[in-house]
């Protein structure tokens, strides 16, 4: 975290805000804890008459739950990382930069400082990207997060549901979290479907809540736990399908959420949304690694250091070189608006 964030936490208001940010995480945790009780106790232990079937249901349930919670925990607890000192501009250079009499002078100062740094991304005026809050040269694909109060490597977006930035270090965990959350919800909804249908059978229950045909053994509030378990699992599954599918698409085209809205600008070639697209398999391996044994486990296996990334050969797409690619045209039209100094950062 940045120094501003530490200073904010020392104030009563800053402490309250830090606690407030954990509310979405606590909400998700509470829903998972309730679903565990509803599924294990009410649906399986108290309602199931087939003991062998119940054992298999619980076995697969705990497998999916473990992978789901493991991925979720790694996404939350993985740090956004720290920028190396060589990317940080000394105070005297920052003073010179802010006192420069023209944008060209500022551009020369930044380009001179970054001449030995592996940066290919530029601002609209062709200058090296600089964060005036963190006082650093921003590595390729890095952006400043106003919530975390620091620059984040390969920033995808800040997610309130994990109270963390989705970035280079936890992007694989985030995608696995979405995938296993979807599998968990679909599994719960599918295995609770039979009892959910029994609940709505006309005349199927007596006054005590027992099934007249003996199909649903849950009584009282137990059957309502099963009812809401199905509804909530199905609701979350529907929400997760589109989100998980979108991030799988981003992985396969090697693009972050921020880059999908605003194309990165390269020193050679200009704006290009497909600048990091190396092919679907290579793009997948860049996030998940090339060892299939770790693909589906929330352990770090991504390629690189988060500061430098391979770029596709620009000569393979002459349209991008000339700035005539359809995606590029959209970005150029959006960037015609005037841009304040050093504003190439995410608020």
Hey, which residues are catalytic here? 159
Q: What is the spatial distance between Cα 282 and Cα 295, in angstroms, rounded to a whole number?
A: 14
Q: Give the tokens for residue 129.
A: 């990207």
CB-facing half-sphere around the CA of 181: CA atoms within 13 A: 28
The two tokens of residue 115 are 């001449």
Q: Of all helices (H) and strands (E), which one includes residue 43? A: none
Which positions ≥6 away from 257 have C-beta within 8 Å? Answer: 156, 157, 166, 250
User: Residue for token digits 């970005």?
Assistant: 331
Using alpha carbons only, how large is the chain's radius of gyration in Å?
Answer: 25
CA distance 45 to 53: 11
């Amino acid at each position: 975290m940045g120094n501003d964030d530490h200073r904010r936490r020392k104030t009563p208001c800053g402490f309250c805000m830090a606690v407030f940010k954990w509310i979405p995480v606590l909400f998700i945790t509470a829903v998972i804890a309730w679903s565990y009780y509803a599924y294990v106790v009410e649906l399986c232990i108290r309602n199931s008459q087939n003991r062998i079937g119940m054992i298999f249901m619980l076995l697969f349930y705990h497998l999916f739950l473990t992978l789901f919670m493991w991925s979720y925990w790694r996404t939350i607890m993985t740090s956004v990382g720290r920028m190396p000192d060589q990317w940080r501009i000394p105070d005297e250079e920052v003073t010179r930069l802010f006192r420069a009499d023209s944008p060209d002078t500022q551009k020369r100062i930044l380009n001179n400082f970054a001449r030995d740094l592996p940066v290919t991304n530029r601002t609209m005026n062709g200058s090296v990207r600089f964060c005036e809050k963190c006082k650093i040269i921003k590595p390729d694909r890095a952006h400043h997060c106003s919530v975390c109060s620091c620059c984040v490597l390969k920033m995808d977006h800040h997610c309130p549901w994990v109270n963390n930035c989705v970035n280079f270090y936890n992007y694989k965990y985030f995608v696995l979290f979405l995938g296993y959350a979807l599998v968990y919800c679909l599994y719960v909804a599918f295995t609770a479907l039979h009892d959910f249908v029994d609940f709505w059978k006309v005349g199927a229950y007596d006054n005590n809540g027992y099934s007249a045909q003996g199909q649903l053994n849950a009584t009282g509030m137990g059957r309502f736990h099963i009812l809401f378990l199905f509804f909530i699992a199905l609701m979350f599954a529907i929400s997760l399908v589109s989100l998980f599918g979108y991030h799988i698409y981003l992985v396969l085209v090697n693009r972050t959420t921020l880059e999908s809205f605003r194309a990165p600008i390269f020193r050679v070639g200009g704006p290009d949304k497909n600048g990091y697209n190396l092919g679907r398999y290579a793009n997948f391996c860049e996030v998940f690694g090339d060892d299939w044994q770790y693909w589906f486990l929330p352990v770090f296996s991504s390629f690189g250091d988060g500061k430098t990334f391979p770029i596709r050969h620009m000569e393979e797409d002459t349209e991008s070189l000339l700035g005539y690619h359809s995606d590029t045209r959209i970005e150029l039209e959006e960037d015609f608006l005037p841009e304040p100094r050093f504003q190439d950062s995410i608020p």
